[in-house]
């Protein structure tokens, strides 16, 4: 037979101890209903003994539990209760223990008991109430985050808009796209055109009848002033060079002279 040793061979123990939690809840309920002041106080002590099976000194433990519940018992009474608990049929399920102690649902909610049931609300009903409370809790958190209710979301959906307009959803998508494109088109009209180099707007002076300013008004030389110097320069050249520049043949007389 093989024995598994080491870290992987150990079984993990369950940290939750239902007996310890049950004992704390029994004490809480006894203090809430002031069980120590009634003649049924032994019921809570017997239930506490049922969930304290590993005690080395049960009598002393019961006496201390009675003090925490707001009462006080003697050593002889603790011994009698220990004997009675051993012969009494145990009520260990949540609802059976609740019936033994008389725990109502209101008391259960007030004390936040989780291992003891209730006498007036069953296990299945408590489960449905927990689910409903959890659903309402999640809904409140969704509203805080800005999530819209389902009915409002469906009413504002694309399908609802398409049904209201009598068109398809693709038509709604195309309209939205066209609207977005219209928003992104830059505005080309305005006071100043894009061709101006100066940020200052001023009227153009010196316009001719055709709507354009003359070259003299714009500080440029006219075609006559440009052409005249060119004629003077050509006239100063010899006629032979001017003919050669134009690609014309020289007369015979000029050839002989040359």
Residues forming a β-bridge with 26: none
- Whether residue 106 has pLDDT greater than 80: yes
- For the whole prediction, is pTM greater than 0.85? no
Q: What is the pLDDT of residue 205?
A: 53
Which of 41, 6, 45 shows the shortest CA–CA distance to 23? 45
When comparing pLDDT for 76 and 210, which is higher?
76
Q: Which residues pair with 207 in a beta bridge?
A: 213
Q: What percentage of the chain carries pLDDT values higher than 90? A: 44
**Average pLDDT estimate for 51-72:** 93
Q: Which two tokens stand for residue 22?
A: 């049950």
Altogether, the residues listed in the chain come to a count of 258
81 touches 62 (CB < 8 A): yes
Distance in angstroms (rounded) separating the CA atoms of residues 130 and 41: 31
The two structure tokens encoding residue 31:
């203090």
Alpha-carbon gap, residue 48 to 45, rounded angstroms: 5
CA atoms of 182 and 184, how far apart (whole Å): 5
- N-to-C CA span, the chain: 135
Q: Which has more confidence, 11 or 103?
A: 103
Question: Residues of 102-140 as b/e, b for ≥16 C-beta within 10 angstroms?
Answer: ebebebbeeeebeebbbbebeeeebeeeeeeeeeeeeee
Residues in Cβ contact with 154 at an 8 Å cutoff, skipping those fewer than 6 apart: 160
More confident position, 235 or 174: 174
> Stretch 130-140: mean pLDDT, rounded?
90
* Contact call for residues 240 and 250 (beta carbons, < 8 A): yes
The total of other beta-carbon atoms located within 10 Å of residue 256's CB is 8
- For tokens 């398809």, what's the residue? 168
The answer to which of 23-37, 77-91, 103-117, 208-222 has the lowest mean pLDDT is 208-222
Q: What is the pLDDT of residues 206-218, one digit of tens each?
A: 544 455 555 565 6
Maximum distance among all alpha carbons in the chain? 166
The single residue listed with the structure tokens 């239902």 is: 18
Site of tokens 């259960």: 108
Fill in the DSSP letter of residue 147: P
The span from the CA of 205 to the CA of 214, in Å, is 10
Cα–Cα distance, 137 to 11 (Å, whole number): 37
- Lowest mean pLDDT across 64-73, 224-233, 249-258: 224-233
Angle at 36 between CA 31 and CA 41, to 5 degrees: 110
- Mean pLDDT across the chain, nearest whole number? 80
């Amino acid at each position: 037979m093989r024995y598994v040793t080491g870290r992987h061979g150990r079984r993990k123990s369950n940290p939750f101890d239902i007996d310890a939690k049950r004992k704390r809840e029994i004490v809480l309920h006894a203090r809430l209903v002031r069980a120590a002041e009634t003649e049924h106080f032994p019921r809570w002590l017997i239930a506490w003994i049922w969930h304290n099976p590993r005690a080395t000194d049960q009598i002393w433990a019961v006496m201390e539990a009675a003090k925490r519940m707001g009462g006080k018992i003697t050593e002889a009474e603790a011994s009698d209760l220990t004997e009675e608990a051993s012969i009494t049929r145990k009520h260990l399920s949540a609802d059976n223990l609740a019936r033994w102690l008389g725990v109502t649902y209101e008391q259960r909610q007030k004390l936040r008991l989780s291992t003891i049931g209730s006498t007036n609300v069953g296990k299945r009903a408590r489960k449905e109430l927990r689910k409903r409370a959890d659903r309402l809790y999640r809904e409140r958190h969704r509203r805080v985050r800005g999530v819209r209710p389902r009915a409002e979301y469906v009413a504002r959906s694309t399908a609802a808009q398409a049904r209201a307009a009598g068109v398809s959803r693709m038509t709604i998508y195309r309209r939205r796209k066209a609207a977005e494109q219209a928003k992104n088109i830059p505005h080309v009209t305005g006071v100043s055109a894009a061709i101006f180099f100066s940020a200052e707007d001023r009227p153009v002076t010196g316009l001719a009848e055709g709507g354009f300013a003359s070259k003299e008004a714009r500080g440029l030389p006219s075609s006559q002033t440009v052409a005249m110097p060119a004629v003077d320069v050509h006239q100063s050249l010899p006629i032979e060079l001017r003919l050669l520049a134009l690609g014309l043949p020289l007369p015979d007389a000029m050839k002989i002279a040359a």
